[in-house]
Amino acid sequence: MGNPLEEFTAQAVSVFGNSASKGFYEKLNEDGYPSATRCTGCAHVSYPPREHCPACFGGEVEWVKLPEHGTLNAFTTNKRGLRFTAPSVIGVVEFEGIGLIIGPIAGDRHELQIGQKVGVQVIDLGGGMSYPQFAPVE
């Protein structure tokens, strides 16, 4: 049997997720890379993806891939948690044109530095579930 938390996450997305959240995981599994949505009216990019633009409230959005690299702005160790395995490193990464994204960081927190360039990795959890994490880029 797989990880019960990941099974719960998959079930929650299928029941409570809107078309943007479902589309995010479908594209992540198909393309192997996370995507955001961009408003076709005002070009605002949203991550996590949205069905409607939060900037102009337009209803037409298109899928765009996240940039390959971002900048690590902050990070901490999560010693206890439900969503991420503990202990883990959680960080805030800034992507040009998108903004700040919070997510898990691969590696040891003692080797990370503010301002460091990071890239996106997709972790396959099996059972059709994947999630993105960030990792330092050399």
pLDDT at residue 83, as a whole number: 57
For residue range 8-60, what is the model confidence (pLDDT) as tens digits? 666 665 555 567 777 777 777 788 888 899 999 999 999 889 899 999 999 99
Query: Measured between alpha carbons, how far is 105 from 87 in angstroms, rounded to an integer?
Result: 11
Cα–Cα nearest to 93, from 103, 83, 85, 107: 103
Cα-to-chain-centroid distance, residue 22: 13
For the entire predicted model, the pTM comes to 0.76
Check if the beta carbon of residue 23 is closer than 8 Å to that of residue 14.
no
Domains of the chain: total:
1
For residue range 63-86, what is the model confidence (pLDDT) as tens digits? 999 898 999 999 998 776 655 555
Domain assignment of residue 72, given as a range: 4-136
